Amino acid sequence: MTRVYNFSAGPSMMPLEVMEHARDEFLDFKGIGSSIIEISHRSKDYIAVASEAERDLRDLLRVPDNYRILFMQGGGRGQFAAVPMNLMVGTGKADYITTGNWSEDACTEAGRYGDARAIKADYRNDDGLISVKTDLTFRDDVDYVYYCDNETVCGVEFSDIPDVGDRILVSDVSSNFLSRPVDVSRYGLLYAGAQKNVAPAGLTIVIVRDDLIGRAMKCCPSIFDYKILADKDSMFNTPPTFCWYMAGLVFKWLKEMGGIEEMARRNREKADFLYGFLDSSDFYRTAVAPEFRSRMNVPFFLKDESLNDKFLAEAKAAGLTSLKGHRILGGMRASIYNAMPMEGVKALVSFMERFARN
Ligand SMILES: Cc1ncc(COP(=O)(O)O)c(C=O)c1O
């Protein structure tokens, strides 16, 4: 068996140790004679898995007691709708800081439920790099302010939490969840689709402050109503049991690695290594201003774009896959989530050096 370094933006590489653990107990989970995917979500064996995963996540992120963790379905786009249906219920207004396609799409979706105003914060600076305005003004009477902490496609990440005064802050952290510590108490709500840093696709994790639960619009489907989910411990309907189990294994793996602080150190090191190389090269160029470069998704371009196909074919032959950039930005993109080891980034940089030389 040969495993490649897979730079996919999601679904993406999972930690090898987690995959091996899941494989080893796949047919017979802890001696019960059935697979974890074959048993009821209401069985005592499964409930133990689910609650342990929640406890581990709470520990890892130091989630305060007045926040609920919901294990939902519907992905990031489900939350584009669920967030306004649950929270845009006071004045019916929300301000959306947009820094790329995911926050723009979230704003458009929220517009179906109320007055969602886009505050376009991304722009091209004098060097043609994507940058982000930070002196933003918000309406006083919004139900919340929304932003995307890491724009997966264009590789724009916030290094600081935007200052929104005492307004409720909501963030889509789908593509940098668990990649660095986060002060949950600064947020009303955080959510992440699992398919990048947590688990296979199919699970969405929502961390929401107690007092924001229980106010959903009448039109909100029950499966998206945070109160119904919270009251039923995320088992109102059949949850994605395999994904939740896999998430639990990833949380254990993170704990064994030294927790989120250690993961953040490794992620910084990987990103610095890759950006350092890109900055030193006159064959490649980056897309984003240094202060806003994502540590997770690194878009880059060959200065001679006619070599793109050759680059991708040779990278693949060298065991480096899924480097093609998203169609919105073009070029290349290396997604280097938690599960990508430093060796993978080094292998990529060596290949890129070789390719440039040849
Ligand atoms: C930051 C971000 N938000 C939302 C989404 C949409 O997620 P989903 O495909 O789970 O609906 C994605 C998908 O890649 C994403 O990267």
DSSP H helices in 88-238:
101-110, 226-231
Ligand 1 centroid – CA 76 distance (Å) = 5
Rounded mean pLDDT of 37-47? 98
- Specify whether 310 is located in the same domain as 333: yes
Position 142 scores a pLDDT of 98
- Specify whether 200 is located in the same domain as 290: no
Position 43 scores a pLDDT of 98
Closest Cα to atom 10, ligand 1: which residue? 75
Would you say residue 356 has pLDDT above 90? yes
Asked, for residue 8, whether it belongs to a domain, the answer is: no
Residue of 102, 122, 143, 324 with catalytic role: 102
pLDDT category at 2 given cuts 50, 70, 90 is confident
Closest Cα to atom 12, ligand 1: which residue? 76
Using CA atoms in the order 241, 220, 66, 148, what is the torsion angle rounded to 10 degrees? Answer: 80
Rounded mean pLDDT of 8-32? 97
Rounded mean pLDDT of 119-145? 96
* Tens-place pLDDT, residues 239-265: 999 999 999 999 999 999 999 999 999
- Confirm whether 172 is a catalytic residue: yes
Would you say residue 1 has pLDDT above 90? no
Would you say residue 50 has pLDDT above 90? yes
Rounded mean pLDDT of 184-202? 97
- Mean pLDDT of the chain, nearest integer: 97
Is the distance from the beta carbon of residue 75 to the nearest atom of ligand 1 less than 6 Å?
Answer: yes
- Specify whether 58 is located in the same domain as 142: yes
Rounded mean pLDDT of 112-131? 97
Which residue among 225, 240, 256 closes a domain?
256
* Tens-place pLDDT, residues 292-331: 999 999 999 999 999 999 999 999 999 999 999 999 999 9
Strands 204-209 and 67-72 come out as antiparallel
pLDDT category at 267 given cuts 50, 70, 90 is very high
Q: Which domain holds residue 338?
A: 259-357
- Specify whether 212 is located in the same domain as 338: no
Asked, for residue 84, whether it belongs to a domain, the answer is: yes
Which residue among 223, 256, 289 closes a domain?
256
CATH of the domain at 88: 3.40.640.10
Is the distance from the beta carbon of residue 100 to the nearest atom of ligand 1 less than 6 Å?
Answer: no
Q: How many domains does the chain have?
A: 2
CATH of the domain at 340: 3.90.1150.10
- Confirm whether 102 is a catalytic residue: yes
* Distance of alpha carbon 324 from alpha carbon 299, whole angstroms: 9
- Specify whether 62 is located in the same domain as 127: yes
- Specify whether 222 is located in the same domain as 275: no
Residue of 149, 196, 244, 270 with catalytic role: 196
Atom from ligand 1 closest to the CA of residue 80? 4
Asked, for residue 314, whether it belongs to a domain, the answer is: yes
- Specify whether 248 is located in the same domain as 266: no
- Specify whether 190 is located in the same domain as 64: yes
Would you say residue 207 has pLDDT above 90? yes
- Specify whether 286 is located in the same domain as 320: yes
Looking at the chain, the whole-number percentage of residues with pLDDT higher than 70 is 100
- Specify whether 158 is located in the same domain as 201: yes
Asked, for residue 1, whether it belongs to a domain, the answer is: no
Asked, for residue 353, whether it belongs to a domain, the answer is: yes
Asked, for residue 7, whether it belongs to a domain, the answer is: no
* Distance of alpha carbon 120 from alpha carbon 204, whole angstroms: 26
- Specify whether 174 is located in the same domain as 104: yes
Ligand 1 centroid – CA 261 distance (Å) = 24
Position 90 scores a pLDDT of 98
| Helices and strands counted in the chain (H then E) | 9, 16
pLDDT category at 124 given cuts 50, 70, 90 is very high
Rounded mean pLDDT of 20-45? 98
Give me the residues paired with residue 190 across strands: 171, 207
Ligand 1 centroid – CA 194 distance (Å) = 9
Position 271 scores a pLDDT of 98
* Distance of alpha carbon 220 from alpha carbon 208, whole angstroms: 17
pLDDT category at 10 given cuts 50, 70, 90 is very high
Give me the residues paired with residue 120 across strands: 98
Asked, for residue 9, whether it belongs to a domain, the answer is: no
Asked, for residue 3, whether it belongs to a domain, the answer is: no
- Confirm whether 143 is a catalytic residue: no
- Specify whether 70 is located in the same domain as 125: yes
Which residue among 208, 236, 256 closes a domain?
256
Q: CA distances (Å), 172 to each of 97, 149, 177, 230, in order? A: 11, 6, 9, 19
